[in-house]
Structure formats: C-alpha cells, structure tokens
Amino acid sequence: MCRQYRKAKKPSLWLLIKIPLKTPCEAGVKGNKGSYGFPGLKGQKGSKGDTCENEKGEQGSKGDKGDLGPAGVTGPSGPKGVAGSRGAKGARGDAAKLLRSAFSAGLSKPFPPPNVPIRFDKILYNDQEDYNPSTGKFNCSVPGAYVFAYHLTVRGRPARVSLVARSRKVAKARETLYGQEIDQASFLTVLKLSAGDQVWLEVARDWNGVYVSAEDDSVFTGFLLYPDVLEILL
C-alpha cells in the first residue's frame, strides 16, 4: 500500500495519519535490457561422482544381414599343399586292335609258266588270308610298309624272276644254270603299299628254271613291317 501524509489543522502539531488505499499501485514500464556483465570467476573443481554399479544388460537380438560388399583385392598365392594319396586303379580299357598281315607259301610244282603270277600253293602261314594261293597274288588290306622276300631253288635252266607290285615290275633278278646244276636265289626288299595293292612273283619266257622237289623248296614270303596310321585314319 502507498502511504500519504496530511497536515493537521493546528499549526503546532503534525499528525501522522495512516489512510488505507483500496487500489494497488500500477506496474511501471519495462526497462531496456541491460548490457552483458563481466565474466565471473572460475569455480572450484567439483568432487568425483559416484560410479554406476548397474549390471550388464541382456544381449540384443541378431540384426539383419547387411548388403554384400565389393570384392576385395586378390591375395597372394598360398603355399603348395601336401600331395594327396594315390587314387584307386581304374578299370581296364578296351584293347587296341593290333594290325597284322603276313603270309608264307611254297611252290608245289617245278618250272612255273612264264609272264603270269607264280602260284605258291603250299601254305605255310596265311592267318589273315591276304595271300590268295589260287592266283598267287598278295592283296594289301592294311596300308603301310611291307617286307617281301623269296628263296628259290634253280635247276637245269636259267631263271629270271620279277617282283611285281601294282602291275609294275619293281625288282628283277636272274640265275644262269645249265645241265643238272642246282643253285639257290634269294631276294628281300621293303615296299610301301596302300589298301588294295597287289604283289606277286613271275618268271620270264625261257627263264623259268624255278625248281621244287622233296629235298628242295621254293618259298615266297611277305609281312607288314608297320602300318600307315595316317592313311588308316583318313
């Protein structure tokens, strides 16, 4: 409340009269904001707080799988590993077909006719049946290199013998004898043949002294030395 003082009527005395006011004083106008004050002094360091004694919480659930990251740089090669144990033996494969061709045949009658294949009809070996005793010709069934040889007995007249291959005389030999003389003629060569080629022996006219008896033989022989694999494959 506000206090007011009034003067008494008597000049010699002043009376202090307290007069209550029913209405409060009005608030003043808000003043302007003051300027910042100077910083205060640094306070003292506080004491250390109490340590938390709470127990460790439960483990959370497993999170979702993250996206695949980029490929890393290739690392260096590792050391060589220890050799493994030996594997089990494999099954036996099919046997390769062995190519064969051979014959050997003897003459059964002396003095064969000239200029035609000599028919060596006494078979000594002909398992593949590439030699035909009825014609006296060898028929090539396996292309390759072949060895051909003959050992002939010559008696009473001269002999001129030709080895014929593919209808061409590839080798010639002769033995000159007269009277009852007996001699032997031998020959050996290597020929390259293709499938279907034919080989035989023949004598010339008046030079057919090839002889055979119970004591003397005349033999024609041939066999495959090695096959021509390239020609077989083609």
Domains of the chain with bracketed CATH: 102-233 (2.60.120.40)
Residue 78: predicted pLDDT: 82
The letter for the amino acid at 23 is T
Sign for the pseudo-dihedral over CA of 191, 103, 185, 167: negative
Residue 77 CA: distances (Å) to CA of 10, 20, 74, 80, 81: 125, 106, 9, 9, 11
Residue 172: predicted pLDDT: 93
* pTM, entire model: 0.59
Grouped pLDDT means (10 residues each) for the chain, 234 residues: 48 48 61 74 74 68 82 85 85 74 97 96 97 98 97 93 95 85 93 97 93 95 93 68
* Residue reference for tokens 């980029």: 70
Inter-residue contact 189 to 148 (CB < 8 Å) = yes
* Residue reference for tokens 């057919």: 208
